Amino acid sequence: MSTPQSRAVDLTLLNLTDIFGQKDKTTRMQAIADIWVASSNVLFVDVLGVFKSHEAISEMVEKIQGMSGEGDEFVALGNVECLKYDDREDIWVTKVKWGIKTASSGEMGLTGEDVLTIVGGKIKACYTFLDSK
């Protein structure tokens, strides 16, 4: 059965809220296990490096959270865009602009864009581009 577009959109947003927005490591690791492919098959690339396991992704998220203030949250800026998937392989490519909304001012701190590859209903890869200030 192929993954519906609505699920690809949901996975893209869950990556922001349930992984990057999750402060509790145990809960975040469970979310990664639920929405990403097996740990040995993941690929996450951003300015901090290349991460190839569930644990490495979680550790990278902790570093990013450590750079932001208390109560700051990751939010989607606009709709998730989807590239037509491959029916045979069940592949989607999605893109979402996001920002870190600062609790102190309500302004957007860091902003960027994630491009995700979703295979068989789970995230396989994420490429994060940061906007220059």
CATH of domain 5-130: 3.10.450.50
Q: How does pLDDT run across 67-115, given as a tens digit for each residue?
A: 887 888 899 999 999 997 777 889 999 999 999 988 888 888 889 999 9
Q: How does pLDDT run across 19-78, given as a tens digit for each residue?
A: 999 999 999 999 999 999 999 999 999 998 999 999 999 999 999 888 887 888 899 999
Q: Which of helix, strand or coil describes residue 95?
A: strand
Percent of the residues in the chain that have a pLDDT greater than 90, as a whole number: 74
Q: Which of helix, strand or coil describes residue 98?
A: strand
**Tokens 């999750």 label which residue?**
22
Measured in degrees and rounded to the nearest 5, phi and psi for residue 114 equal -105, 135
Tell me the pTM. Answer: 0.93
Amino acid identity of 15?
N
